[in-house]
Amino acid sequence: MDNLYKGPEIKPGYLGKGTIVYEPISPLSLTQRLGRLRYACYQFCSSLIAILLMALSWVVSASPAVPAWLGYLVTGVVALLAIVYLTGLMVRRLHDIERSGWWTLLVLVPGINLPFQLYLYLADGSSMMNRYGTPNPPPGALVKVFGGLFWVWNVLVLTFLTALVFLQWWQPDWIAGALERLPLGSIPRLPVGQQYH
């Protein structure tokens, strides 16, 4: 028997006249689109969970009753799952910008990986439907707070690192001079020519 009080089912998509029915957001999906703040928020949460799980495995494996290889195994599995999930987040972010997920391979290219990650944080996603689905619904308060803070932190760090890499490439003498002006002991010297026993 049909429920008379239930409205008609509306599938996610563009209904015309600027109206979009958003598809429900799933943090574990590897196929949906992902806006900038949700991308930063999901990265922060997944990285924090992975770090806590790895730290817990190290603490537990320090016990004499637990074999050391078990700690290494748990750490490896958590790290692998984190890499897969973070790669999926990048694919979803690229879908929001109307780019193919294959662009994630740019993370493996030295010299391009930092500007590419900065691009993922700064690029504006399409506000309407694209070939990858509907945009995200407006973010909630927690996504705005945690995603916003992590977004600002990552943009600042990636901008600094990108500038440092390009300065080292184009002006290595300038970087060497700046490092020499630092106070003694702030940068540890590498022991060259010493043998370790």
In a domain, 185, yes or no: no
Taking the C-alpha atoms of residue 98 and residue 25, their distance in angstroms, rounded to an integer, is: 18
Range of the domain at 160: 26-180
In a domain, 12, yes or no: no
In a domain, 18, yes or no: no
Grade residue 108 by pLDDT with cuts at 50, 70 and 90. Answer: very high
- Lowest average pLDDT, out of 3-12, 57-66, 83-92, goes to 3-12
Query: Is the pLDDT reported for residue 196 higher than 70?
Result: no
Predicted structure pTM score:
0.74
pLDDT averaged over every residue in the chain: 82
189 Cβ neighbours under 8 A, 6+ residues apart: none
In a domain, 75, yes or no: yes
In a domain, 39, yes or no: yes
In a domain, 194, yes or no: no
In a domain, 43, yes or no: yes
C-alpha to C-alpha distances, 3 to 7, 9, 10, 188, nearest whole angstrom = 9, 12, 16, 72
- Lowest average pLDDT, out of 56-65, 72-81, 86-95, 143-152, goes to 56-65
**Structural domain tally of the chain?**
1
pLDDT at 88: 93
State the DSSP string of 125-194: PPSS-BTTBPPPPPP-HHIIIIIHHHHHHHHHHHHHHHHHHHHHHH-HHHHHHHHHTSPTTSSPPP--S-
Q: Kindly report the length of the chain.
A: 197
In a domain, 20, yes or no: no
Taking the C-alpha atoms of residue 92 and residue 105, their distance in angstroms, rounded to an integer, is: 14
